[in-house]
Amino acid sequence: MSGGSKQPEVGSNEQRQKGKATPDTLMIGCIAMVQKDGAYRRAEILSIRETKSGRQFYCNFDNFNKRLDEWVPVSRIDFEQDVEWPNPDKDKLKDPKKKAGSSVSKKSQPSKKSQKKVGKREQSVVSEGQAGTPHPWTEFVEGQKKGKVDGDEKGVASLEVGAKGGQAGPDEMDVDEDETPAGAAKKEKAPPAFNREQEIEKLRTSGSMTQNPAEIARIRNISKVEFGQYTLFPWYFSPYPEVFSQEDCIYICEFCLSYYGDFKSFRRHRMKCTLQHPPGNEIYRDDYVSFFEIDGKRQRTWCRNLCLLSKMFLDHKTLYYDVDPFLFYVMTRRDEKGCHIVGYFSKEKESADGYNVACILTLPQYQRKGYGRLLIQFSYELSKIEGKMGSPEKPLSDLGLLSYRQYWSEQIIDLLLGYAERDEKCTIEGIATTLAMTTQDVEHTLQALKMQVYHKGEHKIVIPEKLIEQREKSRAKQRHVIDPSKIQWKPPVFTAASRTWGW
């Protein structure tokens, strides 16, 4: 059942002692055979908890993406087969704080009292005691370097269409005390060879593109979220207050994004909550979607809540706790009840690296319906208005890479077909400027699609027939697009000191 050699395997290659375990002796670090998708698979036990319905083990499965890690009950573990015991040294390395032999995490059941306390803090992400201390998110902080990309010749290229080969590839202020955001960076490696099938397969089996090994031990803490009319099943850890991880389900208000561990408090909140759309200016509206611009500094609580929500589906990025330096562009769909969040992207107010997107997310209930494309297009339309070339912050996630590649390819192919029709020559810079993309992203896309050739001393861009066919097919799907003439937006000006609106 396991795929190629690149797939993540649980445990290390070193010899481990084997033997029979029982539900009481099975400990963190053990590798056991655990049922998943109708088969018993090797899985490493990453955590253990006591729940109302009995003991549960958090398993990371061989050859499965981390987002498929899950809590399993005793009944799904095969105790007839030997387990591999953890190597004590390795175990120590993994979690220096953990005492050898302590197999059950010491989380106590949430007392009614503590739940209430959380309810009181409903409007704030942080407890008072955390002010000024590093938030758990800061634990994700890794390198923060600009991804330097290797340059290629950017000469004038002539264009050939239909060549053979290639692959398809009301604004209320909500300012509270100062603290520390959303989005960060790591160096991007040279782009891997582009093979769509392999990449899609990777989605099921591999981890995110650049997974922080220290993060692997992170356990998904929230198992179920009620959000508007949807039930969401989080993929990854998100730093909600610890007491929330004891709940079978948490409730998030789909408008103000405050969160509750029990339904009663949530219901009470819903009776009081008057918000019906994100708390910013509506800068775009068409028949299909609206976009709101929200300043992290002015709407701190709301933006932090958005980051908490999105972290449940974003794994590869460092999330900062300080939302002040970011603007949030939130896409919604309207109905009689209000403007419902579909997705968003965040953007640094000033990006030294020229990024036009820090984090981007389509909520899972809306994924694969073309909303990601709209978010990406919107980010580039803003860059066009700014007169800048932009690029998403690196690293991209697996899904992020697929979506950006798709967007870039479609945009470039459409543009080139236009050039070809008019029999015009084009340059990489010309393409980049027209699309507000960086020349690196243009070049990488051309390379990935095998559209650049060097022939008889001349650089040429070719559009393989197959790509034209694919583009025709995808056009036939008649997706929604952003109408740039409907964007009501001027690049905001920030005072250097506050990085907030320069009134």
Binding site for Zn ion (CB under 5 A): 253, 255-256, 273
Task: Give one DSSP letter per residue of 447-471, joined into a string.
Answer: HHTT-EEEETTEEEEEEEHHHHHHH
Q: Work out how close the CB of 332 gets to Zn ion at its nearest, in angstroms, rounded to a whole number.
A: 15
Annotated active-site positions, please?
393
Residue 442: which residues within 8 A CB-CB, separation 6 or more? 408, 412, 428, 431, 432, 435
List the one residue from 371, 378, 408, 419 that touches ligand ACO (CB under 6 A).
371
Q: Is 474 in the site for ligand ACO (CB under 6 A)?
A: yes
List the one residue from 250, 257, 399, 448 that touches ligand ACO (CB under 6 A).
399
Name the residue nearer to ligand ACO (CB basis): 99 or 477: 477
* Sole window of 99-107, 262-270, 394-402, 424-432 interacting with ligand ACO (rule: CB under 6 A): 394-402
DSSP bridge pairs for 427: 156
Residue of 138, 131, 366, 113 whose CA lies nearest to 254: 366
List the one residue from 58, 237, 240, 313 that touches ligand ACO (CB under 6 A).
313
Angle subtended at Cα 162 by Cα 159 and Cα 167, rounded to the nearest 5 degrees: 100
Q: Kindly report the length of the chain.
A: 503
Show the DSSP H helices in 80-168 as ranges: 88-94, 112-120
Report what 130 binds from Zn ion, ligand ACO, none; CB cut-off 5-8 Å by kind. none
Q: What is the dihedral of CA 19, 22, 24, 28, to 10 degrees?
A: 50
List the one residue from 245, 362, 379, 438 that touches ligand ACO (CB under 6 A).
362
Q: Is 28 in the site for ligand ACO (CB under 6 A)?
A: no
Amino acid at the residue 415: L
CB atoms within 10 A of CB 113: 7
- Residues 55/74, Cβ–Cβ less than 8 Å: yes
Q: Is 406 in the site for ligand ACO (CB under 6 A)?
A: yes
Q: Work out how close the CB of 199 gets to ligand ACO at its nearest, in angstroms, rounded to a whole number.
A: 8
Name the residue nearer to ligand ACO (CB basis): 56 or 438: 438
Q: Work out how close the CB of 345 gets to Zn ion at its nearest, in angstroms, rounded to a whole number.
A: 22
List the one residue from 392, 428, 438, 444 that touches ligand ACO (CB under 6 A).
392
List the one residue from 372, 390, 430, 464 that touches ligand ACO (CB under 6 A).
372
Task: Compute CA 95 distance to the chain's CA centroid, rounded to the nearest angstrom.
Answer: 26
Q: What is the dihedral of CA 70, 91, 316, 199, to 10 degrees?
A: -70
Q: Work out how close the CB of 260 gets to Zn ion at its nearest, in angstroms, rounded to a whole number.
A: 10
- Residues 244/222, Cβ–Cβ less than 8 Å: yes
Residue 241: which residues within 8 A CB-CB, separation 6 or more? 118, 121, 127
Q: Is 482 in the site for ligand ACO (CB under 6 A)?
A: no
* Sole window of 103-111, 292-300, 322-330, 356-364 interacting with ligand ACO (rule: CB under 6 A): 356-364
Name the residue nearer to Zn ion (CB basis): 310 or 318: 310
List the one residue from 393, 413, 431, 482 that touches ligand ACO (CB under 6 A).
393
* Sole window of 5-13, 222-230, 321-329, 366-374 interacting with ligand ACO (rule: CB under 6 A): 366-374
Q: Is 413 in the site for ligand ACO (CB under 6 A)?
A: no
* Sole window of 263-271, 330-338, 355-363, 450-458 interacting with ligand ACO (rule: CB under 6 A): 355-363
Report what 253 binds from ligand ACO, Zn ion, none; CB cut-off 5-8 Å by kind. Zn ion
Q: Work out how close the CB of 423 gets to ligand ACO at its nearest, in angstroms, rounded to a whole number.
A: 30
Report what 256 binds from ligand ACO, Zn ion, none; CB cut-off 5-8 Å by kind. Zn ion
Report what 273 binds from Zn ion, ligand ACO, none; CB cut-off 5-8 Å by kind. Zn ion
Ramachandran region, residue 257 (left: φ > 0; alpha: ψ -120 to 50; beta: rest): left
Retrieve residue 302's tokens: 């709301």
Give the 3-state DSSP-derived string for 67-94, with helices as H, strands as E and coil as C.
HHCEEEEHHHECCCCCEECCCHHHHHHH
Retrieve residue 489's tokens: 């937006």
Distance in angstroms (rounded) separating the CA atoms of residues 158 and 198: 31
Q: Is 368 in the site for ligand ACO (CB under 6 A)?
A: yes
Q: Work out how close the CB of 175 gets to Zn ion at its nearest, in angstroms, rounded to a whole number.
A: 18
| 52 class by beta-carbon count within 10 Å (0-12 exposed, 13-18 middle, 19+ buried) | exposed
Q: Is 402 in the site for ligand ACO (CB under 6 A)?
A: yes
Q: Is 373 in the site for ligand ACO (CB under 6 A)?
A: yes
Residue of 245, 246, 228 whose CA lies nearest to 236: 245
Report what 368 binds from Zn ion, ligand ACO, none; CB cut-off 5-8 Å by kind. ligand ACO
Retrieve residue 176's tokens: 């509270």
Three-state secondary-structure class, residue 48: strand
Residue of 107, 122, 73, 55 whose CA lies nearest to 262: 122
DSSP bridge pairs for 341: 332
Taking CB positions, which residue lies at the least distance from ligand ACO?
A: 372
Report what 392 binds from ligand ACO, Zn ion, none; CB cut-off 5-8 Å by kind. ligand ACO
Binding mask 190-229 for ligand ACO (x = CB under 6 A): ----------x--x--------------------------
Using CB under 6 A, list all residues that contact ligand ACO. 200, 203, 313-314, 357, 359-362, 367-373, 392-393, 396-397, 399-400, 402-403, 406, 474
